[in-house]
Amino acid sequence: MTQKSDGKSGRENDGGIATARHVFDATLLREYDIRGIVGQTLFAADAYALGRSFGTVARRRGARAIAIGYDGRHSSPDLAAALGQGLGDCGLHVVNVGRGPTPMLYFAAHTLDVQGGVMITGSHNPPDYNGFKLLLEKASFFGPDIQALGRIAAAGDYESGEGSIEERSVFDAYVARIVQDLVEGPRPLKVAWDAGNGAMGDAMVAATARLPGEHILLNEVIDGTFPAHHPDPTVPENLVQLQDAVRSQDCDLGIAFDGDGDRIGVVDSHARILWGDQIMLYLARDILKANPGATIIADVKASEVLFDGIAAAGGKPLMCPTGHSIIKTRMKEVGSPFAGEMSAHIVFNDHFYGYDDALYAAIRVMSVINSSGESLADFRDSLPRVFNTPEIRFSCAEDRKKAVIEEVKARLKAEGAEVNDIDGVRVRENGGWWLLRASNTQDVLVARCEAGNQENLDRLIARVRSELKASGLEPPAL
């Protein structure tokens, strides 16, 4: 493959392609992915340089071929073309699987004769954002590995070769694989689905056409401007349309997807939202029937109800730092059949490939309803009542956020408090727990509190506020 060049090196803000040393914008290379604002911090030149730097790492680890895919954002096809050029100029064979959700690219990377994959997606960010999710040798590529790409690009230390590119659809195979695990029940379900105009739209249409029951589809047309609502199902206002459909159509449940289809939203027949940790417990109980004593992983933001529920069902709960890449890596290390996080990345490793696919998670939720006879509404009503805050995110300077956590940790340990510090501080006291952690991807701190009654919750909130004030921060409204 060849690449046109104007002879300049570095990142070209007019969209030109980088051919030698390249410096990424400081905000692009994040902990779990690469993401920026198109035309401001992210250009075609960055996509090409990413192809060269990631392709270099892949080649040096023995890779011959890499799959790429892209979401429905207007900028995605151009970024995919530049990325493919960069990978090819490293001497790799590039398999472009086309437009679809991130899990379809993961499926390609696990089933085709390729050694890695790159998904062009802005996930649930606003329309002017875009980015890249990476995997190599069927494992998440994140953290220090992503930072190393910046050093390779800055040095221009690229592998070179004459690569090739082909277009190969995996869409039909992907949809067929997703629906094959549905367990049918005595009564066909009535389900409302909301793709949020995100990249899961086409797959949602194709999958529901193969499923028994009645299916009401919302916002299934892929549109990178997201005209109906923002594609983030963890935000209640983005589920209002789905809730209205569940009520008006008398559905058994509602399913929503984020912008690239790797996170799920669920509402029960009363249109009540089930949060990520509640979805996990509903699924974990079923998985533990077939895998007694198995380790089930959840992140530090999850409710104590989840961890206690896993133990009560005969499983071994394991708390893990937040981050879907971290969780997927950890479940391979310990042989866990199931994991997830509060943000509703749900990962199956029992009958599936060990990555997060919201459409597959929806099939598994429907299967539990069918096989157990327990509706989501009945399950939700059975949960212990707890009082908690949502996940609260508030600004804190990038060069200060980790220092604040260390200061809080030092004060807590000096007091002899019961502290879990695997990711920030999670503290048990006053009949509940509170969490304060630094985001890995933004200049924010994250707080959450949970207790058995409102009085204790108020005490925990006051405790978090006092710790923030002690570190010189004005606490947010909790």
| Residues of each domain in the chain carrying CATH 3.30.310.50 | 387-470
177 touches 206 (CB < 8 A): no
The separation between CA 280 and the C-alpha centre of its own chain, rounded to angstroms, equals 14
Cα–Cα separations (whole angstroms), residue 77 to 69, 98, 298: 9, 9, 35
For the segment 32-50, what is each residue's pLDDT rounded down to a tens digit?
899 999 999 999 999 999 9
Q: Where are the beta strands (DSSP E) in 127-248?
A: 129-136, 139-140, 164-167, 190-194, 214-218
What would the CATH number be for the domain defined by 174-382? 3.40.120.10
pLDDT > 70 fraction of the chain, expressed in percent and rounded: 96
The model's pTM: 0.93
Cβ 137 vs Cβ 5: under 8 Å = no
User: Out of 53, 75, 123, 269, which one is annotated catalytic?
Assistant: 123
pLDDT at 430: 87
Active site residue 123: yes
Amino acid at 352: F
Whether the per-residue pLDDT at 13 is higher than 70: the answer is: no
Q: Higher confidence at residue 319 or residue 12?
A: 319
Note the pLDDT tens digit of each residue in 161-186.
Answer: 999 999 999 999 999 999 999 999 99
The two three-digit tokens of residue 260, written as one number:
């690239």
| Percent with pLDDT over 90 in the chain | 90
The pLDDT value recorded for residue 440 is: 79
Instruction: Report how far apart the first and last C-alpha atoms of the chain are (Å, whole number).
Output: 55
Give me the pLDDT at residue 19, please. 55
- Higher local confidence (pLDDT), 394 or 64: 64
Of the ranges 35-49, 68-82, 288-302, 428-442, which one carries the lowest mean pLDDT score? 428-442
Total Cβ atoms within 10 A of residue 192: 26
Which CATH homologous superfamily contains domain 387-470? Alpha-D-phosphohexomutase, C-terminal domain (3.30.310.50)
Q: Please tell me the distance from the alpha carbon of residue 413 to that of residue 435, in angstroms, as a whole number.
A: 15
Please calculate the CA angle 22-27-29 and round it to the nearest 5 degrees: 65
Cα 316 to Cα 314: distance, rounded to the nearest angstrom: 7
What are the tens digits of pLDDT across the range 419-476?
999 999 999 998 999 999 998 777 889 999 999 999 999 999 999 999 999 999 988 7
Nearest CA-CA partner of 407 in 393, 426, 424, 422: 424
Q: Identify the three-state secondary structure at position 23.
A: coil
- Are 280 and 306 a contacting pair, CB within 8 Å? yes
- What is the four-CA torsion angle of 359, 141, 350, 292, rounded to 10 degrees? -120
The mean predicted confidence, pLDDT, of the chain is: 93
Sign of CA dihedral 302, 305, 306, 307: positive
CB of 457 closer than 8 Å to CB of 432 = yes
pLDDT tens-digit readout, 318-349: 999 999 899 999 999 999 999 999 999 999 99
Domain with CATH 3.40.120.10 in the chain: 34-169, 174-382
Residues pairing with 434 in the sheet: 427, 449
Decide if domain 34-169 falls under CATH 3.40.120.10.
yes
